A = this chain, B = another copy of it.
Amino acid sequence: MAQIDTFAGVIPPVLTPFAEDLTPDHGRFVDHCKWLLAQGATGLAVFGTTGEANSLSVDERVALLDAALEAGIAPDLMMPGTGCAALTDTVRLTGRAVAAGCGGVLMLPPFYYKGISDDGVFRSIAEVIDRVGDSRLRVYLYHIPPVAQVGFSVDVVGRLIEAFPGIVVGLKDSSGDWSNTEALLKAFPGFATFSGSEVFLLDNLRGGGAGTITATGNVNLAAIRALYDAWQSETAEALQAEITEVRKVIQAFPAIPALKAILGSYHDDLAWRTVRPPLLDLEAEQVSKLLNSLQSHDFDLAA
């Protein structure tokens, strides 16, 4: 089998900025993508959970993707989230991403129905791959049971790899359960397994994993990248401890509004704070608490 280029490193699930009327803000989105790459991002997982993608229509996602590509961001750095509740939406978004030359897609299983069997999950992903029908497609499975509720068991991952070699090439494990990541690493050497949190980055790399796709990458990318670059060095444990501590401070707050508030503060741009329903903006008091907490730890975010 030919060598397949897959993503590796530190990939932020890019936050989606909104104007006051809640329309996606293309300018700030493109600027944020470029800034993340300048900070050391090895790819951009636009339209993930952190990007409030499922609160956007397919058209809104396509327009944002087009804006990023038109602004000169290399398509092979893009890993758009394309998994929707509706089969036809997932096919349309995935087809569009492949046609645009995206390096891969991050694919949720359909998430409306619950208690879906492995056969149902397999059939869902297989149907999308068959319909897109393009050998350039690279699928990264998006396993996030705390949110989607429907996930990818180790068994169904194996079935998908076997059925679609060179197409199903990786997975983001946002289960929050290290033993699940460990099981994937052991079962599928060479498969690009990303931890869904930088807390497990060093463990993941030591186990043969590909890196991390982590929400906190939106605000702490340089530090997480530093660990990725130095994971085999003597400083690795200390670097891991530092980014884990930052993560813990942030995750005491609702993640998406908190990350937007940090970015708003860093860029001195309050517009960044806006989130779409059903999410709620952080209240001023919470923002102060969050920023004070980061400051008191002397964290130099977004270096």
Contact = CB atoms under 8 A, between A and B. Distances in A.
B54 A112 contact: yes
A116 interface: yes
A55 B110 contact: yes
A293 interface: no
A255 to B, nearest CB: 10
A109 interface: yes
A55 B124 CA distance: 11
A58 B58 CA distance: 10
Nearest to A61: B86
A251 interface: no
Interface residues of A, number: 39
A112 B92 CA distance: 19
A112 B111 contact: yes
Contact of A114 (B110, B121, B149): B149
B279 A113 contact: yes
A72 interface: no
Interface in A57-93: 57-58, 60, 84-89, 92
What is the copy number of this chain in the assembly?
2
Contact of A277 (B49, B57, B123, B147): B123
A86 B56 contact: yes
A92 B57 CA distance: 10
Interface in A104-154: 109-114, 116-117, 119-121, 123-124, 127, 146-150
A120 B277 contact: yes
Given A54-B85, A57-B86, A87-B22, A277 B110 contact: yes
Given A55-B112, A113-B147, 12 more contacts: A54-B110, A56-B86, A56-B88, A87-B277, A109-B278, A110-B278, A111-B111, A112-B147, A119-B280, A124-B277, A127-B277, A150-B278
Interface of A: 22, 49, 54-58, 60, 84-89, 92, 109-114, 116-117, 119-121, 123-124, 127, 146-150, 276-280
- Nearest 10 Cβ contacts at the A-B interface: A54-B112, A124-B277, A120-B278, A54-B85, A57-B88, A124-B278, A123-B277, A116-B278, A110-B278, A57-B86
